[in-house]
Structure 1
């Protein structure tokens, strides 16, 4: 057994990630490996003296978050890995993933251990990927709306000419107008199918959840939507919370939900109308309202809106087709995030879709005494 103990001790010492053991009885780190000096730039022999400065470098939005889980760990309640940020003046934040370990011996002595992995590169890569996907999805939705509207207009003009124009005998005009109608109709269908396929593909991938500032993450697609809708001559506004609100999101999937709700709002809002998104804190949750002053939803349709292939589906004001899947997928994705989606609508007055998702902050904002005393040393 001693050989095994030596083996694992030597393995911990050689690990490129920070390994440590903390004794909450004496409130001191009793072991830390050499990676501490390479990764956190401290001195192993002075790790307990270094702790106050390390905690002061924690991102302020992460301190209470970490403290919430610390309370669980000291009680032996194991949790998932936790990601936190260390601040560096004038430099990007350093991201760490903390994997905790709890042990209690026969005499009741408790030791807390864990591994700290520097995940800064992965977080930057993921952030860039989320940013790209948000902009791509918003741009695709705007382009599809613009192109669809143009093809629908061509189709309607062709239908009008077909009915009103008397073509000379043996003229090919009726045939050409029919081709124009069919091509325009098929083009609109193809565009919408491509967008729906993108949404379906995204919804069918595995959920990849991260703790994020909801306002900061959704600002990117909202900016993109606002710019695009302004170019199309539509009125679109949004408001974000004054303070950061954190939730556990799959950014790509949740952005798709937001874009889908905004797209639906414009689909049933006249050209002179307006659409707005409001993100605000709620009791233990984040609320996202998508509000329009469009034609509203008939009362009889409202109970069926979120059903798959719902009988409540109807074409948009400009002839946009619908599959009856969009709102059902939105509901599914929101529920994956342990949230809810609801609608409040009055015919001829408009609709408000509200999404609520749990906040990731602890219920209590009290920082455990261990962390307070370490900070005050």
Structure 2
């Protein structure tokens, strides 16, 4: 063995991550480092005998995804990392990140890789996403609730200013003007706070993970439903019966959903209905945000998703708009290789539809790929 090869072998043996080489023709692991014993609790000599049992621990929701990945890997068509889950009875799932490599030496195809345990990082990310989802939904609820209250105070103050004849030298007109200005500024400040949060999220780096879209969107949807008493609307949602996975930046994508629901609230009268329906499509996930509000004039619809659109208008309760919200939604959805569209009729309501691709190809790859790995 050359000094060069010996150096890299020593590096692999010293690594705290699992390093392995799989001979595709022989269907055997021909090298695995000592980390296999500490990370996966296996035996170096028994690694090939243990491989079928290890594959049986793969999370069932990941099988199609892994099979699709494997089919591309053996053709040297993949360089991206992949994250998978291993199940252990009575314990939390372990998350692993695989960094693949492909080498063809003297006609032999060798598949190498580094397997890193990223369970701690994934749990941290899940908790952060959960916190952000709840925070953003709560901000949207409070912004509508507080804005509505301040707008009402402003309108009452304006009415009193016009209708009440104050005595000479009275400070009532001055106090009513202060009340109007304070209410108006408060509404502006509340909406700016929500807009800044959305803009900050949109301008941060994209952090995409493979997630069950129903599970991650249930959190903000449940928060919005609990807040419907404050919002004065009837809000409902439906989720798919089975998990559907997509590659999403959870924080950004939930912001898109909350923004669309917030817009529906703005243009739906009190006691109106707003609903979100998440359903599978052919190779995609469909998210429909439906309301029975005032609808969007036909002339405005072509310009809805433009930045600083001329289609912007205040909400039914005087809520201001920057004309950026739907444009940012469109940008974020396109970052996820998806589309956003609207179907609206004045006086009847609107339906916004977001469609993003699923993360795996469902098909006949599963049995073939797993048989090949198990053999």
1:46-67 deviations in whole A, cap 9, x for unaligned?
0011011111100001111111
> What's 1:127 paired with?
126
Structure 2 residue 201 is matched with structure 1 residue 197? no
> What's 1:165 paired with?
164
Aligned counterparts, 1:212-251, within 5 A = 212-251=211-250
> What's 2:368 paired with?
369
Query: Residue 95 of structure 1 contacts residue 119 of structure 1 at CA under 8 Å; is this kept in 2?
Result: yes
1:79-115 deviations in whole A, cap 9, x for unaligned?
300000000111110000001110002x321111100
How many Å separate the matches in 1 of 2:141 and 2:349? Answer: 21
Q: Which segment drifts farther, 357-366 or 238-247?
A: 357-366
Cα distance change on mapping 1:353 and 1:370 into 2, 3 Å: closer
Cα distance change on mapping 1:210 and 1:365 into 2, 3 Å: farther
> What's 1:206 paired with?
205
How many Å separate the matches in 2 of 1:370 and 1:196? Answer: 47
> What's 2:30 paired with?
30
How many Å separate the matches in 2 of 1:336 and 1:78? Answer: 21
Query: Residue 79 of structure 2 contacts residue 101 of structure 2 at CA under 8 Å; is this kept in 1?
Result: no
How many Å separate the matches in 1 of 2:293 and 2:150? Answer: 22
How many Å separate the matches in 1 of 2:68 and 2:372? Answer: 16
> What's 1:263 paired with?
262
How many Å separate the matches in 1 of 2:251 and 2:71? Answer: 32
Find the residue that maps to 2:46 and give its secondary structure. Answer: helix
Find the residue that maps to 2:204 and give its secondary structure. Answer: coil
Query: Residue 29 of structure 1 contacts residue 47 of structure 1 at CA under 8 Å; is this kept in 2?
Result: yes
How many Å separate the matches in 2 of 1:206 and 1:243? Answer: 30
Structure 2 residue 336 is matched with structure 1 residue 304? no
> What's 2:49 paired with?
49
The two structures have a TM-score, normalised by structure 2, of 0.98
1:289-322 deviations in whole A, cap 9, x for unaligned?
0000000000000000000010000110011111
Deviation at 1:365, TM superposition (A): 4.1
Find the residue that maps to 1:356 and give its secondary structure. Answer: strand
Structure 2 residue 93 is matched with structure 1 residue 88? no
Find the residue that maps to 2:96 and give its secondary structure. Answer: strand
> What's 1:286 paired with?
285
How many Å separate the matches in 2 of 1:54 and 1:326? Answer: 47
**Structure 2, unpaired ranges of 5+:** none
Query: Residue 287 of structure 1 contacts residue 355 of structure 1 at CA under 8 Å; is this kept in 2?
Result: yes
Query: Residue 18 of structure 2 contacts residue 34 of structure 2 at CA under 8 Å; is this kept in 1?
Result: yes
> What's 1:318 paired with?
317
Q: Which segment drifts farther, 277-286 or 68-77?
A: 68-77
How many Å separate the matches in 2 of 1:203 and 1:244? Answer: 26
Query: Residue 294 of structure 1 contacts residue 348 of structure 1 at CA under 8 Å; is this kept in 2?
Result: yes
How many Å separate the matches in 2 of 1:365 and 1:165? Answer: 77
Deviation at 1:76, TM superposition (A): 1.4
The two structures have a TM-score, normalised by structure 1, of 0.97
- When the two chains are superposed, the root-mean-square deviation of aligned CA atoms in Å is 1.1
1:218-253 deviations in whole A, cap 9, x for unaligned?
000101111012344321000000000000000000
Aligned counterparts, 1:61-80, within 5 A = 61-80=61-80
1:327-353 deviations in whole A, cap 9, x for unaligned?
000001000101000000000000000
> What's 2:135 paired with?
136
Aligned counterparts, 1:146-165, within 5 A = 146-165=145-164
Query: Residue 24 of structure 2 contacts residue 108 of structure 2 at CA under 8 Å; is this kept in 1?
Result: no
Deviation at 1:189, TM superposition (A): 0.4
**Structure 1, unpaired ranges of 5+:** none
Q: Which runs of 4+ in 1 moved over 6 A?
A: none
Cα distance change on mapping 1:129 and 1:213 into 2, 3 Å: same
> What's 2:97 paired with?
97
